[in-house]
Amino acid sequence: MGGTDVSPVHFLDAEIFGISLRSDLPDIPLTRDRWYSVWDAPASGLDLVCYGLMKFSTSQMMVFFQERRTQRNVRALMRFILVLTGLIVVYSILFHVIMEMEGQHHSWMTGFYWTLTVMSTLGFGDITFESDLGRFFSMLVLATGIVFLLVLLPFTIIQFFYAPWVDAVEAARTPRKAAEETSGHVILIQYDAVTEELIAKLEQSGIGYVLIVPDFEEASNLHDMGIRVVYGPLDHVSTYTAARAESAALIAATSDDVTNTNVAFMARQVAPEVPIVAISTNKTTTTILRHAGATEVFQLGELMGRALARGMVGGDALTHVVGNIDHLLIAEANAHKTPLVGKTLAENRLAELGVNVIGLWDRGEFKPAMADTVVTEYSILMMAGTKEQLMRYDEEFVIYNVSVDPVLIIGWGKVGAAAGAALSRRGVDRKAVELDPERARRAGEFRDRIVVGDATDPEVLMQAGLMDAPAVLITSHDDSINIYLTIYCRSVRQDAQLICRSTLKQNIETLHRAGADFVHSYASMGSSSIFNQLTGDRIATVAEGLEMFRRPVPESLGGKTLIECGIRDRTGCTIIAIRDPEEGLIATPSATTVLKAGQELVLAGGTEAESLFIEAYGIGSA
């Protein structure tokens, strides 16, 4: 066997394990953390097999024997082998003594042969005792062999050698440090819904990351899943050194308050200049995290509550601002019971009011604003315009869809309370349902507006005013309960706006199918907040699956008008503004506006639309 007739052999560069093994085969590209085929190496197939096995096995052996537990287990195994060897010697000697008493003569080799065959229960029977003493001795040797060779020896090998060896193999495969050239990456400290979504955004943008995992089994499993992990404790400074924290672009702490504080404090010692973003649950923890070294702290519960409140447009047909870019405002307006229903956007001629319709939400589905897009009874218009332009729209539709009934908030935890506070600042009346009496008691002056009871009980919801509420905000952290409540509320209130919180991303589509108009995901909100700190190209997450982001004008579009570019038709993204270095922000540009090199596009679109834009024009962050 030789040349290229050998099947491809793969081996792992042991340098990833912290072991330096140098190759004598100069043409074999051995690079850390990568597998390589050696079809074309100038050596025989047997040489390659031997080299690969030697390199891989040597690295495992070194990792295996470096651990204290392994050294302790090996000593225990050696003691067992010494005891077993001593028994074999003693039994061989007694074999000769008893045989001599019976008048039989055998060599020492025969004595060892008989002892091993009897202890291993093979018992060939070619050598036997004739006396009762000899037969008793044979039974003793047989019983000892069963215990030592068939029970204790396999157990000992598995317990003290095989299982630790398997662990060592896993440990050898699981990285304990990032590659030396790693830089500009994001360091994560927990694999959860937020970081899973963040990893997807990082990979889409071509940004590297390292996930520190303190649990070995979890680190090994995530490594097998293709996640870039580094195994190490979160409370050791050496772990952040191994993760190359000093050359990272960002460190994101998304665990509980105590862990995040510890991470910020430890990482800051290694990386004094690197931004650290953390998630907290309250204002006190936010202050502590900043003292520990965090540069930016988010209270996701507070952000989620405000986002749910922003999405509430039920009760009137006026515009409600959900974001802004300088003086350009992004707003939503309910089309329910207005003259807009049943007509296309071209027929409604909203451009005459100065507003730029970005798209329409229709029961959770976002539709790009095309000329032939029809406004339905359940459509919510997403618009961009200046304050004056939105005021002109409000003057036109102020008389429609007026309701003074309170909005219903289901759940008065951190998210529900934050949503209630945001609605209060808007002057919107609200009522709430809360299961925990203590939470209701702590609501202050608002506690008289809270109905204490189980929201899954229809009578409780009716008492809270479900049948009259123009909108219902479902804020529970339990997605299964949110799905149940959405289905029930939609079944009894076809005309109410339903806005839901989703903890897990996979439940977003289910909530939309259940009847939710808007769904805000905890995972998407957290990942977008962190990602924006890294790149600064995202302006706001308007709703789940719809974001505003910035991109420089691609070279291929320079000198073309917006209508010639066809960005919306090609990618699904809508240009809502252009930032010019000389003219400033050009709000709601017309179709004849000419794009220039050096300008910056402010776009709105879903995740798929953004991916299509990157595919068509490149990443090119702003």
Reported as a single tens digit per residue, the pLDDT across 68-77 is 666 777 777 7
Class of CATH domain 69-173: mainly alpha
Fold of 407-522: Rossmann fold (3.40.50)
Q: What angle do CA 235, 189, 56 make, to 5 degrees?
A: 90
Q: What is the DSSP letter of 378?
A: T
Query: Quick one: pLDDT band at residue 403, thresholds 50, 70, 90?
Result: low
**Strand residue runs (E) in 484-545:** 497-502, 518-521, 538-543
Distance CA(456)–CA(57), nearest Å, equals 59
pLDDT at residue 69, rounded to an integer:
64
- CATH 3.50.50.60 assigned to 186-294: no
Is the Cβ–Cβ distance between 319 and 383 less than 8 Å? yes
Percent of the chain beyond pLDDT 70? 82
Instruction: Please give the residue that has the higher pLDDT: either 370 or 60.
Output: 370
Percent of the chain beyond pLDDT 90? 31
What predicted TM-score, i.e. pTM, was given to this entire model?
0.64
pLDDT at residue 11, rounded to an integer:
35
Distance CA(208)–CA(108), nearest Å, equals 68
How much is the mean pLDDT over the chain? Answer: 81
Class of CATH domain 316-397: alpha beta
Distance CA(563)–CA(524), nearest Å, equals 32
**Where in the chain are all domains bearing CATH 3.40.50.720?**
186-294, 407-522
**Where in the chain are all domains bearing CATH 3.30.70.1450?**
316-397, 545-617
pLDDT tens track for 241-300:
999 999 999 999 999 999 999 999 999 999 999 999 999 988 899 999 999 999 999 898
Is the Cβ–Cβ distance between 491 and 416 less than 8 Å? no
- CATH 3.30.70.1450 assigned to 545-617: yes
pLDDT at residue 105, rounded to an integer:
87
Distance CA(533)–CA(531), nearest Å, equals 5
Nearest one of 300, 66, 84 to 164, comparing CA atoms = 66
In the beta sheet, which residues pair with residue 188?
A: 211, 252
In the beta sheet, which residues pair with residue 95?
A: none
